Each structure stands twice: as C-alpha cells, then as structure tokens.
Amino acid sequence: MRLSDLKPGETGVITKILGHGAFRKRVMEMGFVRGREVTMILNAPLQDPIKYSLMDYEVSLRRAEAQLIEIVPLEEWVKEEDKKLMIHPVDNNDEDAVDVRKDRIINIALVGNPNCGKTSLFNIVSGSHERVGNYAGVTIGAKEGSMKYKGYKFNIVDLPGTYSLSAYSPEELYVMRYLREEVPDIIVNVVVASNLERNLYLTTELIDMNRSMVIALNMYDELEKSHAKLEYEQLGKMLGVPIVPTKASSGWGIDKLLDTIIDVYELKNPDTRHIHIKMRPEVEQGVTVLKDEFKKDPTVSQKFAPRYLAIKMLERDPEVEHLLQDSPNYTKWCTLRDEENQRLEKELGDDANSIIASEKYGFIQGALAETFEGGEKQEEQSTKIIDAFVTNKLFGFPIFLLVMWLMFWATFQIGAYPMEWIENLVSWISVEIGKYMADGPFKDLLLDGIIGGVGGVIVFLPNILILYAFISFMEDSGYMARVAFIMDKLMHKMGLHGKSFIPLVMGFGCNVPAIMSTRIIESKSSRLITILINPFISCSARIPIYILLAGAFFPHYGAWVFVGLYVLGVIVAVITAKCLRKFWFKADETPFVMELPPYRIPTVKATIRNMWTKAKQYLQKMGGIILVASIIIWALSYFPRYESADVPATFKEAALADMPAETLESNSEDEIDELITNEYQQEYSILGHIGKAVEPVVRPMDFDWKTTCSLLAGCAAKEVVVSTLGVLYVGDDDAELLSERLQTPSRITGKAPFNQATALAFMVFVLLYFPCIASITAIVKETGSWKYGAFSVLYNTALAWILALVTYHIAILF
C-alpha cells in the first residue's frame, strides 16, 4: 500500500521510502522514516498535492511523490520487541574539543528549522527590524547584528532556516558553508517547543559537529497553552547542550539565554558536554572506520569533527565529498565508504541515509519519552477548522481571489483619503516656500525639480502601506503557505514549483526581495524561471502610476482596472513560464515538500513594525534615487535655456496654426508668446532631444516624447515615471493638477496628452517593460549571469510594446 492510497482521516505507518536522490533525502529529514505514523488530512482543491500530518506538524506532498512511500494501515502494524524505542546510550568523549577564545566578543550563529522564530529572536536581541513571516524561507540570506550585554559584545548572525545540514537546498548549503568557514563561537539552535521531535533532527546533526551550542526552546508559550510538560533541563543534560525556554515574540527568557551563552562561552555551564549519538552497532562500525581514517589527516578535520564527516560521507553528501576531494586519500575514503554502504545494505536491508535518519529519530523519540508528556493540541483544532475552508476545493480559490480583490480595493479606495491629506500638505509647503523665494533657477529647481518630483510620488505612501499590510498579514498568519499549497498543481502545469507562488505574491510588494526569496525553491530551473517572470508581477512602485491614470480616466472602475492589470501580469508570467520550461529548461521533477505551519494571529506590534520598515525604505527611496532622478530630469528639461527671440519663426508659425481658437481668443499676444516659448524650451531641451529620438518607437501607441521620457526615467525606479510626468506637464507636485493636465487638451496643439486608450496602453507598458535597475541587479546576482538580466530587459520590453499596441487598438474600437 502506498501513502497516496490513504483517505482523509486514515493513518498508516511508513515501511519504506522508494524514491531516490533529493526526494528521498528530503522526506527522511522531514521525518518520513520507517515506523512513523502518518495521517492523511485532505486533498488540495485540484486533488494535488495532499496534506499529511506527522510528528504534530503538517506537510504537503504531491500525489506522485506520496506513491513512492510504502505504508501499512495502522491497525496492521505490529511492533516487534527489538524495535521498541529506547534511548540510545551516549558517549562522553571530548577528543574533538574546540578551543575557546578568551576575549569578550562572542560570535553567535542562529540556526534552526524554517518558521522556528529565529528572525524574531534576532530582532529582539540585536534591535534590528528584519521581516518575520509564518512560512518557510523568510530569511533569504544571513542577517548580521550586534549588542552589548554585561560587558560582552555579541555579534549575531541569523542564518536561513534549514531542516538539516546537507547540500539539498541553497539554504542548507549556505548554512553548512557558513559554519565551516566562519566557525562561530556559539551556535544558538532555535527549536520550536511545540514541535520538538521534528526540530531536534537538526540538533542531532549540530551535536555531530561538536560545536559549542545552546538550545533556545522558542515559542514556549505554545507548549504551556497545550498543557504539555517538558523536563527541558533533563533533556539538556541528555543532549549535552543547555536548553533555555524563550518567547521571542515578547522577549521573555532572552536574558537567561544570553547568560547561558556567556556561561557556555566561558566553559562554566555544567550541562555542556560532548556526546556521541550512538546508533546501532552495524552503523557505528561504518562511522568508526571512516572517522579513524579522517583523524589520520589533520587537514580535513580543521573545520568539522571527524565523526560528522564520517556520517556525511556515508550519506554521500555532495558538499562533504567536494570538501574532501582534494585530499590525496579521497579515492581510498570513497572505496571504504562504498564497502561500508554495501555492508549496511546487505546486513540491514536499507541504505545508509534511511538507516541514519531512522536511528536519529529513534534517539529523539527515546529522549522525549523520558522528558516529555504530551498535552492538548487546541492549536491543531483551530488550524484544521480554518484549513477546512481555505484549502477546500470549493472554497479555496474563491477565498484567495476575494483576498486579492479586497487588497486591491483597499489600496485604491481607502488609500485615497490619506493620499489627499498628504497631497494638500505637500502643496501647501510648495506654495509657502514659493512666496519667500526670488525667481530664478534655484527656485525652479526646488519647486519644480525637488518638491515637484519627490512630492508627486510621496503622496502614494498610504496606498503602498495598505498593500504591505495585507501581504504582511498573509505571511505572518500562515495563509501564504496555504496559498502555495492550493496553487501547486496549477504552478506545476506552468512548469513551476508550488513554492514559486510565494515569491510571486511577494512581488506585489517589491520585486527585489521577491527575486531574492526564490532561494526557498530547491530546483535550479524552477528558481531561474521564477526569477525571470517575477518582474511581470506588478510591484508597489507601479501603484502611483495606476492610481494617477486609473483615477483620472476610470474613476468609477479604479479597483477593476487594478485587478485587470495584476491579472494581466500574472497571465503573462504564466505564458512566459510555460515557454521557458518548454524551450529553454528541461522538465523539472523536484518534489513539493513544504511545511504547513499552524495559523497564528499576527501581533499588532509585528504588523506595525513591518509597515514602518517599508515606510522607512520608501522614504529613503524618496530621499535617494527618486530625489536624484527628479533633479536630473529637471536639469535635462531646464537646459539649455531659450528666450522668445531664440524660437524659430517656423516653430511659432506651426504652433499658431495648431493652436485652438479658444486659446487665441482668451490670451494676449505676450501670453501666447510665452506659451510657445515654454513649449519650445521643453521640446528642444536635452530631455526633449532624448525623448524625440525614442518617440518613433512608441508613436504607434500615440505616446508623445514627454511620455517617452517618463518611461525611460522608470529605469531608475518606477515611481520616477510619475515625478517625470509632473515635471514635464505641470512642473508642480500637485497630483490632482497633473491628473487634470493629462486629460486637458494642450493650449498649443489642442490635443490632450492622454485619453482612455493611451492611458490603458501606457499602464500595460509600465506593467510589463524592463525592470528597474535594482531588480535587474538582483536578477544578475541571483542567477549568477548578466545574460539573464539582458534577457529580462529585452524580452520584457518587446512584450510590453506588443501588448500595449494591442491594448491601444482594442480600446480605440470600444
């Protein structure tokens, strides 16, 4: 019988893992080992993937992967006497003792499973404000911070979440290499108190490393609420690692944790001792053979303990093999490894990976049998009730679409009120400053360039904060992981991974961190495809453009225009992903194994902190790249200066011929001459020459040279598109005035800069054309090749031109 055969509510016991390679390694690390009970919870709305429960946590597998796990029904499972779980003896052995520095600077590495609260702990201790989310992969790189405590300086590094120390995913590889190369003084292993059995697997690997370590028993309040009892001090003595309960969300237990770190660092903690997690004799024999060989070569054991290397060598870990391959004894070690693996498979009927994983989980179960008494799992019940709706095949997709529509509606409608307040404030500041300054270039620079450019963008801050509030809620509550679950089958049909959906949703906020967060995807090809399609997901930087044009030309249908643009971006991303998978990347069979964390109510403090962080980043952007870009745009449009006498007679004649009769009748000759001079000034400025050179390319969409300049300016940041339009069309920071100007026919040409057709085409072009410089840089960095960055610029822009042209002509018809 296979795991996929279980029906909702049925429980089976694992007897064998049939898969190989990455899938086999991952599921064993997640706890899918022989003798483990697994309960089928429910199918995704499209019947794939399937949600299971084991070891008090939930995980999803694709149906094809579940078919690779053999089980027997729970009632048929008979435990033999020699398979009873007993705590393994430990071996107090300090042969690989680590030297300790005697200064008062302690380098600390935070290591733990995804979603264990490492980043919350890091924020509390270091005073940083890193993003915290209730799903795997929030930490996308090492975060560094420091603090002083009782005369010590703590240098703290928050490493990405990892289930084990292997070379399976980029995060695991990063953590493993960091621990090898940086050699922190103390490892703080963050463990979820309410999910000990799964979390302690990583702990056993850290024990094998023989590093100075402290366990932070985080989310201890959840353990208390369940009325479970854990004798954590006794458990710490068994593991040889002191355990300190903490509640990182509130800061409870942090002082005790820091005190314990100091004691371990100073070799004063009585619970600290090096143990060997003894496995069955057949396995120990193989470990000993390799360990003794490694001890003969001191160069290979400088960073890792010989026992750890021996275990990883038996598991055929590619990173350890890469580490050892330069040794002249490597061939000999490989031969010994192969002999021991063959012996283990012959004697025990399974491969080393499976046997070692089972032995470690046996040790963990035995230790918990003596120290842990289970309580009530109220949290599980509430999670099951919520999941019954949000992952249901009937309600899952409608609920998700409703959440998305509500997010866009709130961004457009609710954000309009504070936007108006900020707009009035900026306008008042501009008027007041203008009263007390003499006319001249500096006044023009300050009012038209700086306040006009930056002020025209800062008014959209409330809209962006509302968008981030929604995204933050989905991340912190655990709903984001469910979105990946219900979308996996659709993503798989696109040639992507279920986890790809998380970076894509994050792209609604900003494409740069979304591109970086693709590191949670184990498959290289899926990761690359997700990176390349992410710029099609409309980021918050485009919101000012949508609000400006949708509010001006579609005031009663703004939310629907928003939704339509976002849906178009997703459709283009889907089609691009399908094409990339078919013509560029080979088929991807990477397993979908993702933890579904319990739902948690996001704290107001965490949400406000996340929103403030985004607001600060946005304001810094205002004072940085957008300020510089606005000044440059103003200067390019201001120079060279022209007077009325510099305007050619032919230009004046052409302007008078195109000028509406109303303008000629309502203005004096001097006013008309000033209008023509200003138009000539803009058109033949440096910026005007640039815009006119590119204008023929976008002329089919009826974009003029000013519109073209704003699109080019968007390479710095998409918000600059709005500030450039403000500088060129009104020279003011007033968004309402700009909105009116874009709809009002020119007094010289008699033609409005935009109409509904050009507005729609412009928004489509902005949605799809080349990413900003920061996104291109992130693409090149994450892919490791400038070719992908060039592809993104060329392909996206070409696609934007085609679809904008189609949109324009369709809009003209209707």
Band of residue 794 on the pLDDT scale cut at 50, 70, 90: very high
CA distance 69 to 12: 11
Q: Which residue has the higher pLDDT, 293 or 491?
A: 293
Which amino acid does the sequence have at 51?
Answer: K
CA distance 573 to 583: 15
User: Tokens for 358?
Assistant: 């089972």
Band of residue 666 on the pLDDT scale cut at 50, 70, 90: confident
Coil, strand or helix at 554: coil
CA distance 814 to 808: 10
Position 377 scores a pLDDT of: 53
Position 476 scores a pLDDT of: 76
Query: What is the reported pTM?
Result: 0.65
Model confidence over 64-96: pLDDT tens digits? Answer: 888 888 888 888 775 543 444 444 444 444 444
- Do 719 and 726 contact (CB within 8 A), yes or no? no
Position 120 scores a pLDDT of: 82
Coil, strand or helix at 198: helix
Name the range with the highest mean pLDDT among 42-56, 133-147, 447-461, 532-546.
532-546
User: What spatial distance separates the first Cα and last Cα of the chain, rounded to whole Å?
Assistant: 59
Phi–psi pair at 371, nearest 5 degrees:
-125, -10
User: Tokens for 462?
Assistant: 């409330």
Band of residue 621 on the pLDDT scale cut at 50, 70, 90: low
CA distance 451 to 429: 9
b (16+ CB within 10 A) / e for 136-145: bbbbbeebeb
Model confidence over 561-575: pLDDT tens digits? Answer: 988 998 899 899 989
CA distance 449 to 259: 54
Tell me what percent of the residues of the chain surpass a pLDDT of 90. Answer: 18
Q: Which residue has the higher pLDDT, 523 or 403?
A: 403
Note if the bond before 160 is cis, omega within 30 degrees. no
CA distance 489 to 487: 6
Rg (alpha carbons) of the chain, rounded to whole number: 31
Position 756 scores a pLDDT of: 94
Residue 558 burial by Cβ neighbours in a 10 Å radius (0-12, 13-18, 19+): buried
Which of 12-26, 176-190, 587-601, 729-743 has the least mean pLDDT?
Answer: 587-601
Q: Which residue has the higher pLDDT, 674 or 133?
A: 674
User: Tokens for 575?
Assistant: 């089609």
Which of 70-84, 129-143, 342-356, 520-534 has the least mean pLDDT?
Answer: 129-143
Name the average pLDDT for the chain.
82
Tell me what percent of the residues of the chain surpass a pLDDT of 70. Answer: 89
